[in-house]
């Protein structure tokens, strides 16, 4: 099949009885025909006839997302400018299922891609020079008229190990007749997943129906659980952690030097190597070659669900699992460390290079950077 070959999905291909779909990554993978760019307000949610089937929980979720404003300190600060060439965005496209619940569109990346081949991902890509805002980056493959897929909110950015700052842009698909066109070399499958299920370690009904053996094995203690997590050491400096907040999580990699943990009755601070928690959720399609939702995609979906399903904003909803380990470094701390950390000769510091190329190095408060780290 040539690189220009397209696969058109019809209604029968779409799970959960929906016809609302977007695809994945880069400029050539998916086009969705829709007819003006706007942000959906809470009043719009009440008036829109297409949302009449929403459950009360879904209505609250959409209201919370439409009203959400991330904390100002969640974004790069003036003293810590981030190079535009290292910025990216992903599209969190929500739609309403037949029973009024909210689903998110996910995709399987092609196995022939050089990075993250075969992974389950959100649509997205790096910021192009012509993109005026990060929203433009997330929706650039959508037609100019965005009245059928309005913006709900822009969430806090996530820093990833590939020295990129990834910003999630949340939209709501209103048109049930949208027909996606896949670029087969980029994306091999599209599917949906219940948004609320990213707050629970219990599998949604769709997985119980499609993969009952996974649920049974999970109960049997063999590791095939709907949700699991692993902690990984950060390569930055150690931090001081309140011992009362330390919880022992299952780790995939053990390093006895990574932390000095006191006994449970101690009130002395703990000097600990910071850790990241990577979450994984089964999709119910593993038997068909679909990988679980993992890493950055899982983190973004957890945060989206926490914002949306919060019973008392601006506080976030609490999943039935611990999201991050105590002392996990903030986005600003990770960026500051990425700016100043020593790199091996064969691995140049891409952020420092981008700062120099974009004329931003002189705007960085380097004293503050070294203080933060």
Of 170, 169, 162, 168, whose CA–CA distance to 86 is shortest?
162
Q: How far apart are CA 204 and CA 156, in angstroms?
A: 27
Q: What pLDDT sits at residue 241?
A: 66
Q: What pLDDT sits at residue 270?
A: 73
Judge whether 95 lies within some domain. yes
For the chain, the average pLDDT equals: 77
Tokens (6 digits) for 357: 């190329």
Q: How far apart are CA 327 and CA 241, in angstroms?
A: 6
What ranges in 116-240 are assigned the alpha helix state H? 134-139, 205-210, 212-219
Of 50, 127, 204, whose CA–CA distance to 358 is shortest?
127
Q: How far apart are CA 329 and CA 235, in angstroms?
A: 11
Judge whether 35 lies within some domain. yes
Range among 54-63, 169-178, 246-255, 323-332 with highest mean pLDDT value: 54-63
Report the percent of the chain where pLDDT is more than 90.
Answer: 39
DSSP state of 203: P
Judge whether 350 lies within some domain. no
For the cut 60, the answer to whether the pLDDT of residue 360 exceeds it is yes
State phi, psi for 206 to the nearest 5 degrees.
Answer: -65, -35
Question: How sure is the predictor about 139, in pLDDT bands with cuts at 50, 70 and 90?
Answer: confident
Q: What pLDDT sits at residue 18?
A: 32
Quick: pLDDT tens for 302-315.
999 999 999 999 99
Q: How far apart are CA 218 and CA 208, in angstroms?
A: 11
Judge whether 276 lies within some domain. no
More confident call, 122 vs 30: 122
Judge whether 264 lies within some domain. no
For the cut 90, the answer to whether the pLDDT of residue 231 exceeds it is yes
Quick: pLDDT tens for 143-192.
555 678 889 999 999 999 889 999 999 999 888 677 665 667 777 888 89
Provide the strand spans (E) within the chain.
6-8, 30-32, 87-96, 102-109, 120-121, 124-126, 151-154, 158-160, 164-172, 180-183, 187-194, 227-233, 239-241, 270-272, 275-281, 293-294
For the cut 80, the answer to whether the pLDDT of residue 358 exceeds it is yes
Least confident among 44-48, 73-77, 111-115, 336-340: 44-48
Report the percent of the chain where pLDDT is more than 70.
Answer: 70
Domain count within the chain: 1
Tokens (6 digits) for 336: 């500051």
Judge whether 112 lies within some domain. yes
Q: What is the pTM of this model?
A: 0.80
CATH of the domain at 170: 3.90.79.10
Judge whether 238 lies within some domain. no
Q: What pLDDT sits at residue 84?
A: 95
- Range of 145's domain? 6-204+296-308
Q: Transcribe 249-305 into DSSP letters.
A: --BSS--GGGB----TT--S-EEE--EEEEEEE--S-GGGTPPPEEHHHHHHHHHHH
For the cut 50, the answer to whether the pLDDT of residue 217 exceeds it is no
Q: What pLDDT sits at residue 250?
A: 44
Quick: pLDDT tens for 149-163.
889 999 999 999 889
Question: How sure is the predictor about 33, in pLDDT bands with cuts at 50, 70 and 90?
Answer: very low
For the cut 70, the answer to whether the pLDDT of residue 251 exceeds it is no
Quick: pLDDT tens for 265-298.
555 667 778 899 999 999 988 888 899 999 999 9
Judge whether 262 lies within some domain. no
Strand 164-172, strand 87-96: pairing: parallel
Q: How far apart are CA 47 and CA 362, in angstroms?
A: 50
For the cut 70, the answer to whether the pLDDT of residue 371 exceeds it is yes
More confident call, 8 vs 220: 220
């Amino acid at each position: 099949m040539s690189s220009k070959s397209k696969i058109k999905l019809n209604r029968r291909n779409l799970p959960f009885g929906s016809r609302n779909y977007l695809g994945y990554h880069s400029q050539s993978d998916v086009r969705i025909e829709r007819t003006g760019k706007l942000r959906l307000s809470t009043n719009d949610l009440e008036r829109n006839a297409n949302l009449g089937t929403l459950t009360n929980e879904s209505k609250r979720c959409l209201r919370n997302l439409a009203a959400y404003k991330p904390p100002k300190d969640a974004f790069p600060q003036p003293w810590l400018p981030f190079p535009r060439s290292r910025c990216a965005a992903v599209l969190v496209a929500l739609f309403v299922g037949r029973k009024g619940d909210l689903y998110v569109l996910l995709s399987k990346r092609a196995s022939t891609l050089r990075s993250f081949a075969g992974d389950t991902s959100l649509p997205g890509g790096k910021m192009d020079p012509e993109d005026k805002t990060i929203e433009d980056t997330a929706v650039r493959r959508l037609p100019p008229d965005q009245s059928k897929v309005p913006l709900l909110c822009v969430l806090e950015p996530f820093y990833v190990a590939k020295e990129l700052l990834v910003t999630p842009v949340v939209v709501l698909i209103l048109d049930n007749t949208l027909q996606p066109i896949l670029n087969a070399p980029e994306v091999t499958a599209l599917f949906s997943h219940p948004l609320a299920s990213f707050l629970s370690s219990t599998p949604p009904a769709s997985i119980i129906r499609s993969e009952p053996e996974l649920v049974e094995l999970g109960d049997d203690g063999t590791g095939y659980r709907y949700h699991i997590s692993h902690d990984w050491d950060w390569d930055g400096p150690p931090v001081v952690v309140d011992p009362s907040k330390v919880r022992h999580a299952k780790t995939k990699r053990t390093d006895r030097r990574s932390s000095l943990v006191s006994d449970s009755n101690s009130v002395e601070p703990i000097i600990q190597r910071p850790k990241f928690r990577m979450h994984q959720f089964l999709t119910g399609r593993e038997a068909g070659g679909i990988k679980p939702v993992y890493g950055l995609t899982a983190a973004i979906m957890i945060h989206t669900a926490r914002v949306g399903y919060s019973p008392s904003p601006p506080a976030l909803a609490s999943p039935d699992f611990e999201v991050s380990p105590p002392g996990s470094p903030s986005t600003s701390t990770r960026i500051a460390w990425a700016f100043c950390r020593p790199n091996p000769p064969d691995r140049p510091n891409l952020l420092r290079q981008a700062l120099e190329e974009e004329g931003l190095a002189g705007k960085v408060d380097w004293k503050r950077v070294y203080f933060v780290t």
